[in-house]
Structure formats: structure tokens, C-alpha cells
């Protein structure tokens, strides 16, 4: 599986959008990038040198503007967080928040998540992986671009520690059904809610994207899958 991801050029699950940077975002990128953004290298991150306190590691893939990630890192000061994002406005906003809240438990990687997960984390090194509202690629001809595919789920499971969990959320029912099918096909993971069941009361902050979707009448589906026995 890892060799396939290594040697075959991956289909990108995102498109770089030319978002306009605000003055605060641009200043944060210029001033704080070197302090909080991990330089991507195709080698394992030295986690023990990255954070002042060693703790369980939570990784969010595609944090958008970073509001929910900032809230989680602020409230869960006993956990360490790494956010992966390719869009610079969101990184700039999150950097501004990290500095404002004086956080030492949150770092950022600006790179493709598939390559980061393949190279930068060792086996069983992550306690929880979060993927909230990834691009659903709703048109049938584009669905091969969806991030949640069997090979990627197998890679994520490899990086999870025993008892670790993957929490997914989407506001597209078709993508929710796709997620459920792919996740339940995994031999490494099991549905914490029971076979075929979504998480009715998920433990996560709401997002602006989610609130906008609800105003438009969209439903929201959360999935929680774990590796081995529950961490609780």
C-alpha cells in the first residue's frame, strides 16, 4: 500500500484557490511562519523535539481557516496538535490565533496531506486523526479525487496508535455514504458507534462551513472509527 502511494503520482484531492490574504494574515505568515510551521521533509518528524511537553498527538487534515483547530488546542492543553493545510489564508489566520493565545501545543504543516502522512509520521505515532468537511467532489467524474479512499484509510490506520481514532465529518450525504463504505471495509478499523451507524452527538467544535451548510438545509454526518480497543 505505502509503495503504491510512494511511486504512483497521487490524484490531488484539492485545488489551490487564490484566496486573498488579509493584512493580519500576511503579517502572521511573515512574522511567525518559522516558529510554528514545520518545514516539510520526506522523513519522520522528531515529535519529542517539536513540543515542550510529550503527550498524545492529534492531527487535523485540511483545517480550513483553523477556527475549530484553534479552539481544540486551546481547550485541550494536555494534548499536542498538528494541522495540515495547503491554503495560505487559513494558515495565516491560524498563526495569528496561535500567537494571540500563546499556544505551545499546536504546529502546522503546509503540504499535501497524503505525502505528509506517508513520510512524516511513524507507525502508531498518532492518537487521533480529524478530517472535517473535506471537498466532497460531488460530480461523478470527479469522485476519484475524494480524499477518503481505501489506500489512504489503510495508511491512516497504520499511523494510529492502538486505541487511536479517526473522526470524519461531511455535509454531503453521498460522501457520508462513501465514507461509511470505505471505513467499514477496513480490516484495521471498527465503527465506534456500531455497524453502519453515524455519530449522532459528535464531540467537536462547530465550524463556519458547517453553520453555513445548516442554514442551506444540509445535513451533517459524523463518523468515528477506532483501531483496536477504545482508548476510553
Examine the pLDDT at 200 and tell me if it is beyond 90: yes
Which domain range does residue 75 map to? Answer: 2-227
pTM: 0.89
Say how far apart CA 173 and CA 219 lie, in whole Å. Answer: 7
Examine the pLDDT at 141 and tell me if it is beyond 90: no
Confidence (pLDDT) at 7:
47
| More confidently predicted of 17 and 51 | 51
% of the chain at pLDDT higher than 90: 77
| More confidently predicted of 37 and 141 | 37
pLDDT in tens, 56-110: 999 999 999 999 999 999 999 999 999 999 999 999 999 999 999 999 999 999 9
C-alpha dihedral, 141 to 112 to 68 to 138, nearest 10°: 0
DSSP letter assigned to residue 143: G
Mean pLDDT of the chain: 89
Confidence (pLDDT) at 94:
98
pLDDT in tens, 102-137: 999 999 999 999 999 999 999 999 999 999 999 886
C-alpha dihedral, 115 to 117 to 121 to 126, nearest 10°: 170
Examine the pLDDT at 232 and tell me if it is beyond 80: no
Confidence (pLDDT) at 16:
56
Told to judge if 135 belongs to the known catalytic residues of this protein, a careful annotator would answer: yes
Confidence (pLDDT) at 230:
57
Examine the pLDDT at 214 and tell me if it is beyond 90: no
Q: What's the number of domains the chain is made of?
A: 1
Task: Please check whether residue 232 lies inside any domain of the structure.
Answer: no
| More confidently predicted of 206 and 160 | 160
Task: Please check whether residue 218 lies inside any domain of the structure.
Answer: yes
The domain that contains 103 carries what CATH number? 3.40.50.150
Say how far apart CA 136 and CA 71 lie, in whole Å. Answer: 24
pLDDT band at 144, cuts 50/70/90? Answer: confident
Say how far apart CA 193 and CA 179 lie, in whole Å. Answer: 14
Task: Please check whether residue 99 lies inside any domain of the structure.
Answer: yes
Of these residues, 48, 112, 135, 171, which one is catalytic? 135
Let me know: does 166 contact 156? Beta carbons within 8 Å: yes
Task: Please check whether residue 149 lies inside any domain of the structure.
Answer: yes
Grouping H, G, I as helix, E, B as strand and the rest as coil, residue 222 is strand
Cell digits of residue 105:
501545543
Examine the pLDDT at 139 and tell me if it is beyond 50: yes
Say how far apart CA 167 and CA 205 lie, in whole Å. Answer: 12
Alpha helices per DSSP H over the chain: 2-7, 23-36, 47-50, 67-75, 88-101, 113-119, 150-159, 173-184, 208-215
Amino acid at each position: 500500500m505505502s509503495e503504491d502511494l510512494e511511486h504512483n503520482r497521487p490524484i490531488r484531492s484539492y485545488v489551490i484557490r487564490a484566496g486573498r490574504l488579509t493584512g493580519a494574515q500576511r503579517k502572521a505568515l511573515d512574522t511567525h511562519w518559522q516558529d510554528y510551521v514545520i518545514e516539510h521533509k520526506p522523513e519522520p518528524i522528531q515529535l519529542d523535539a517539536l513540543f515542550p511537553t510529550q503527550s498524545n498527538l492529534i492531527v487535523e487534515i485540511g483545517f480550513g481557516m483553523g477556527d475549530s483547530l484553534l479552539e481544540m488546542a486551546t481547550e485541550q492543553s494536555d494534548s499536542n496538535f498538528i494541522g495540515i493545510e495547503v491554503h495560505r489564508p487559513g494558515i495565516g489566520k491560524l498563526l495569528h490565533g496561535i500567537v494571540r493565545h500563546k499556544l505551545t501545543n499546536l504546529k502546522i504543516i503546509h503540504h499535501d496531506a497524503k505525502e505528509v502522512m506517508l513520510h512524516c509520521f511513524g507507525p502508531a505515532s498518532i492518537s487521533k486523526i480529524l478530517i472535517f468537511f473535506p471537498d466532497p467532489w460531488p460530480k461523478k467524474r470527479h469522485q476519484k479525487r475524494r480524499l477518503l479512499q481505501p489506500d489512504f484509510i489503510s495508511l491512516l490506520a497504520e499511523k494510529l496508535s492502538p486505541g487511536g481514532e479517526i473522526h470524519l465529518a461531511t455535509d454531503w450525504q453521498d460522501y457520508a455514504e462513501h465514507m461509511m463504505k470505505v471505513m467499514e471495509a477496513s480490516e484495521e478499523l471498527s465503527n465506534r458507534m456500531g455497524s453502519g451507524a453515524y455519530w449522532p452527538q459528535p464531540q467537536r467544535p462547530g465550524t463556519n462551513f458547517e453553520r453555513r451548510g445548516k442554514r442551506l438545509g444540509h445535513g451533517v454526518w459524523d463518523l468515528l472509527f477506532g483501531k483496536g480497543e477504545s482508548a476510553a
